[in-house]
Amino acid sequence: MQGRRLATTDEIIAIVSPDSDEPLETLTAWTEQSGIELTTVDVGDDIGDVYDESRATLGVTLGGDGTFLEGIKTFAPRKIPQLGVNTGTLAFLARVEPEDLEDALEEVLRGRAAVDSRQQVYVNAPGVEATGINDVMIQQVPPDDPIDRKVTRLDVYADDEYVGEFEGTGLAVSTPTGSTGISLSANGPVHYPVNNHTLQLVPLHTHKLGVRPIVVSPETELRIISRGGANLLVDGGRAQTLLEVGDEVVVTGADTLAHVVRTSYDDHFFTAITKKLGWDVRDADVPRDKKREAPAATSPPIDATDSSRTSIRARHDSAAGDGSRSDEAAGTVERALTVATEAAQAAGEPLRELHGQVESIDHKTDKSDIATEADHQADRIISTVIDNEFPEHGLFSEEGTRDRSGDSNYTWVVDPLDGTGNFAHGNPNYSISVALIDHDRPVLGVVYVPETDELFTGIAGQGAWRDGDPIETTDRDRLDESMLISGYDPDGSFLSHFYQESRGVRRLGSAALNLCYLASASADAVWEHDTYPWDIAAGLVIAREAGATITDQSGERFEFDFDTEARAALLGSNGSLHPALLEHLGDGLQSSSRSQSSR
């Protein structure tokens, strides 16, 4: 889950342990002041009656690690991100202290917190089926007679491969979140838990010298067969059963991840284990000379020795004039790239979730409702993130506009869902388009494709990239060797006139994607009969920075215009094909015009 998505939080559901009155008062006052709805439940109570899945919800736990684990049990199945506030004495999971609660929540609401996706473990055994974030423990049951055998034997298989017989106190299958103390007791490694999706099989008090912990993928199916009585516990007893001889336990990674919110007010992982587990390669407080600031996000570098990139830059400069900007303007655009990228990726999450529901719906009206909801959710996330980071900038979107609040020359142009028709029919060809305009000139473009996780970016005068790698157009100059993409073509004139002349004409249904595929050499030319500004603002920057030539249907340079009433035709190509395209396009338009007038 992207932390920027938390900026649209509507409500907080808090799980409250006893003796948390003071932090609860703080939380109540903060939510009232922030206009966020607050619902509280006691530890162990269900939230089914108060949770509304249509609202953007943040889960908060007020207590120690036990309360935090109850929160995971409650919030993770509903994919609710969770912030843990430590009101206990020794907490390893809940890391926000009560005195930092308000500041931590402000950071969350501004979309500046991070969300760790924590691996969970799933277990299925006689008498229990459960999920946990820490571990599954299978331990020997103490005998009634103290002189009886005090060990247990467990056969273990990883998928279809026999691992061996473990003889000792028992075994633990732990996640990176819950593995630290158990792993240390068996001379195993310390797992850094952030976005670490593995499982670890840890022998407990083994009677063989060479036995060590084993790390497996979450897809690995561990089968554990008890050769004697044993006690099985999940997350310290939140689920429990007694195993008999021959019982089989199946353990694997859970499909559902736990989303743990982390702020700058949390103790970091290595600070926590230094304080609580005696990690002695550093002090609890990091010395000033050892601290590192998070690196500033910048666009991927352009290799100055690459002649092809140099020629692209030259083509752009000759077409656009002097593209130099002041250091301040350059810094704004670099920062805007980070914000736009994170906003688009955060908006992609609800789009993917809702897109997955489309195929199970039979009625057209219901599919349209899902597309409308997707559009709304994505637009809200992007506009909220931009408002938080650039409140002085204007915002121009298919969903609405916001005037500049100050003297800024910058305006954002957003299409939260380009390719709505595709989306509503379960087609993966849709995208999110975010652009920044300086005066009337697009200077930054970000296009994100949720279903393929592709990210296209471009900065005027600096280049264009796909997933961080530089891109450029093709260099084909023969129409009969070229692949073309058509946007809206109302009478089919472009298709009919170019289909036989080229290697094919494709229609994808997303203008932003069309321009990005032109930029990344997946097509040689693009035609759009008419466009809105939000359709092409971001793709225009990306395509031109990749070396594309973009004109209107008569060959004049395409000029970006905020005027929503005027829809403009657009012809884009790798440059080499442009003369032939204009010639054939002109003939086709004339033929279409004569056909229309003769009716």
Residue numbering of the annotated binding site for NAD(+): 65-66, 134-135, 150
Helix (H, G, I), strand (E, B) or coil at 274: helix
57 and 236 in contact (C-beta within 8 Å)?
no
Residue 541 C-alpha from the chain's centroid: 24
Q: How far is CA 225 from CA 58, 153, 246, 254, in A?
A: 40, 9, 6, 20
For 461-477, give the DSSP string. TTEEEETTEE-------
181 and 196 in contact (C-beta within 8 Å)?
no
Which pair of tokens denotes residue 298? 């910048």
CA neighbor of 413 nearest in space, from 527, 506, 538, 318: 538
CA angle in degrees (0–180, nearest 5) for 75-111-66: 30
Q: How far apart are CA 514 and CA 433, in angstroms?
A: 12
CA neighbor of 475 nearest in space, from 581, 578, 321: 578
At residue 247, what are phi and psi to the nearest 5 degrees? Answer: -65, 140
At residue 475, what are phi and psi to the nearest 5 degrees? Answer: -120, 20
Binding-site members for Mg(2+) are 398, 415, 417-418, 535
Query: Residue 210 corresponds to which amino acid?
Result: G
The kind and range of the H/E element at 441 are: strand 441-449
Catalytic residue among 21, 49, 65, 524: 65
The DSSP bridge pattern shows strands 11-16 and 57-63 to be parallel
Q: How far apart are CA 373 and CA 377, in angstroms?
A: 6
Residue 285 annotated among the catalytic residues of the structure: no
Binding-site members are 65-66, 134-135, 150, 398, 415, 417-418, 535
139 and 169 in contact (C-beta within 8 Å)?
yes
Burial of 113-136, coded b for 16+ CB within 10 Å and e otherwise, reads: bbbbebbbbbbebeebebbbbbbb
Q: How far apart are CA 13 and CA 115, in angstroms?
A: 17
Query: Residue 288 corresponds to which amino acid?
Result: R
CA angle in degrees (0–180, nearest 5) for 168-226-231: 75
Looking at 311-409, which runs of residues are DSSP E strands? 394-397, 400-402
115 and 80 in contact (C-beta within 8 Å)?
no
Q: How far apart are CA 202 and CA 211, in angstroms?
A: 9
Q: Which residues are catalytic?
A: 65
